[in-house]
Structure 1
Amino acid sequence: MRYIIIGAGAVGGAMGARLAGAGREVVLVARGAQYTALREGGLRFHAPDGEHIHRLPVVDGPCSLGELRSDDVLVLAVKTQDSEVALDTWGAAPVAGGGTAAERLPLLCAQNGVESQRLALRRFRRVYGVCVWLPATFVEPGVVSAAGAPLTGILHLGRHPYGTDETVCGIAADLEEARFEAPVVPDVARWQYAKLLGNLANAIEAVTGPIADEEQRRLYARVRAEGETVLRAAGIPYASEEEQREARGETRLVPLGGVERGGGSSWQSLTRGTGTIEADYLNGEIVLLGRLHGVPTPLNELLQQLATAFARERRAAGSLPVAELVRLADEAVAAAAGAVAFVQEDLAVRP
């Protein structure tokens, strides 16, 4: 199989580097400064086992690659807000022997959240979900780091919406030779929703800085509890925290000399000044489900709005004092409680 990594940033770059290091054929898809750096200097990958430089084919789209092969695997590793453009672009690409990528090729959604695989299934016949636990960082154009050891990350894989097949088992085997744990599960969405609950902290981290104090942790506990209430109301199962810890086993984060790991994906988006952030598909997923099932979600709605405003206005990552965020959170909860009380009172007096 040949792996086409659509979005050679932190996650995509780390997956591509490890697959290439294991002898698999890899093509990187990038744009802008990342495309230029990868073409000119290769992919520099920092990991606990040292620095690796991979000079791989780099393209900015399917037209630059030419006709796709029937053994290609498309790995979608862009942020969810960029998924629709990527899906439209690559779905229409022709495959040797006839047909398009959307008709013939497997597509792995290696992203946070659960929305991209829904979008993909509108276009692609064979969609696979990936629950991504891969602590990676986009350091600068052409340079990616991943601090996990002895495994680089844990990637639960499965068909979307449910099931497994020979294709995903073959992909998992390649990933396991490339220093990943890659369990194949029939219920990958259960793992993705568990990861989603963890990713609700991304917006807190993005606007107030990497989570390091008790005040941030207490706020996240409230945000997560709100998310868990929503998932229960929606009847959506998710893997327990104990299952997730067991899956990670002995894998830990190792400080990398000369490569500072800051925050997660949302923090990195603000730091890079991309102008967009994935909060609509993390906290926003909880907000959406809450509205569908009649559960107030004031904390996640606040974080969604704040993170989106920070990205749009290109405000500095971590520039909001934690105490100010907590104050805004308390006000949002009080306002939501007041609105619920008003509706209940109004219903009670109606004839």
Structure 2
Amino acid sequence: MRYIVIGAGAVGGSLGGRLHESGRDVVLVARGEHAAALRADGLRFTTPEGTRYVRIPVAGGPEDVELRPDDVLVLAVKTQHTADALARWARRPVAGGGTAGEVLPLLCAQNGVENERLALRLFRRVYGVCVVLPASFLRPGAVTAACGPRTGVLVLGGYPDGADDTVRAVAADLEDSVFRAPVVPDVMRFKYTKLLGNLAQTVEALCGPVVPGSAAAELAARARAEGTAVLKAAGTGFAEAAELAALREGAVEPRPVPEGERALGSTWQSLARGAGSVEADYINGEFVLLGRLHGVPTPVNETLLSLANAAAEQGLPPGSTSAEEILSLLSAPE
């Protein structure tokens, strides 16, 4: 199999780097300054083992790749970019007949739960990946993955459910590439659990580290409580947090890295890079949507969603908002 990794940021770069180092055939898809840096010097990949420059073929888009029937597409862009990426890749011809959307497997290695649903409109073979991969992407050409002994946990399964030989073969390649990669029949149950955990990332992006006992921790807990109530009202199953924690135990633990750039979560990184957008519409916004559909108020997540989008649009750095001020705003009478 050849892995076409669409989006070579923190997650995509770590996946592509590790798969390439284990001898798999990989193409990284990137644009702009990031693509230029990858082509010029290779991927500057920092892990607990050290920093090295990994030479991996780079494509700017589907027009640069002649698709083969043994290709696996790995979608690793932020959700706000998913629809565009899917439209660009789905109709590309595959050698031997058919289009990518008709014949190639597509793995959604992304936060949130909307990507798979969007993908299934255009791709027949869609797989979900619950990504637990603490990595950072703060400057063009460079990715840091600071955990060990495994780089991350990637829970895989068919969408909407089930499993097949394709996803099991992908999991075997990932297991051989410094990941823990269990295959489950109900992957979305894990992705909803991860989505609840991602709510704290919006708080840390706005307010800084979520330290136990702090106002930021209280804000994150209130956002998660809302999210949990919404999922229960919607009848949406989700795994217990302990299930994901058990998968991480002894496998994905913080390790010191040489020359590594320290960063918080992916939303924090988006603000730090000045990306111009964040994923909050599909993190906090998912719970806002479900709350409105099922009659559950979500004032905390509505407020965080609005503030996160405003911070991205205004180019504010991470940590620019006071958690105390947000809590005060939420307690003010309407």
Scaled by the length of structure 1, the TM-score of the pair is 0.93
Deviation string 1:90-137 (CA, Å, 9 cap, x unpaired) is 111110011110000000000000001100000000000000000010
The corresponding residue for 2:32 is 32
| Aligned amino acid, residue 323 of structure 1 | E
Which structure is higher in helix share?
1
Distance across 1 between alignment mates of 2:219 and 2:287: 16
Deviation at 1:218, TM superposition (A): 1.6
Question: After superposition, where does 1:276-315 map in structure 2 within 5 Å?
Answer: 276-315=277-316
Deviation at 1:254, TM superposition (A): 1.2
Question: After superposition, where does 1:235-254 map in structure 2 within 5 Å?
Answer: 235-250=235-250, 251-254=252-255
Contact 2:51 2:258 in 1 (8 A): no
The corresponding residue for 1:325 is 326
Question: After superposition, where does 1:27-176 map in structure 2 within 5 Å?
Answer: 27-65=27-65, 67-176=66-175
Deviation at 1:330, TM superposition (A): 2.4
| Aligned amino acid, residue 96 of structure 2 | G
Unaligned runs of 5+ in 1: 336-351
Distance across 2 between alignment mates of 1:256 and 1:213: 25
Contact 2:49 2:257 in 1 (8 A): no
| Aligned amino acid, residue 45 of structure 1 | F
| Aligned amino acid, residue 235 of structure 1 | G
Deviation at 1:244, TM superposition (A): 1.5
Aligned length: 332
The corresponding residue for 1:349 is none
Bigger Rg, which one:
1
Deviation larger for 238-247 or 75-84: 238-247
Distance across 1 between alignment mates of 2:24 and 2:85: 23
Deviation string 1:198-241 (CA, Å, 9 cap, x unpaired) is 00111111111122352211221111011000000000111112
Contact 2:51 2:259 in 1 (8 A): no
Contact 1:271 1:316 in 2 (8 A): yes
| Aligned amino acid, residue 265 of structure 2 | G
Distance across 2 between alignment mates of 1:48 and 1:328: 42
SS in 2 for 1:268: helix
Unaligned runs of 5+ in 2: none
SS in 2 for 1:225: helix
The corresponding residue for 1:17 is 17
Deviation at 1:193, TM superposition (A): 0.2
Identity of counterpart residues, as a percentage? Answer: 58
Scaled by the length of structure 2, the TM-score of the pair is 0.97
| Aligned amino acid, residue 5 of structure 2 | I
Distance across 2 between alignment mates of 1:330 and 1:206: 21
Distance across 2 between alignment mates of 1:274 and 1:243: 33
Deviation at 1:325, TM superposition (A): 1.9
Contact 1:210 1:262 in 2 (8 A): no
The corresponding residue for 1:183 is 182
SS in 2 for 1:95: coil
- 2:276 matched to 1:275? yes
Contact 1:139 1:259 in 2 (8 A): no
The corresponding residue for 1:344 is none
Distance across 2 between alignment mates of 1:210 and 1:160: 34
Distance across 2 between alignment mates of 1:316 and 1:247: 33
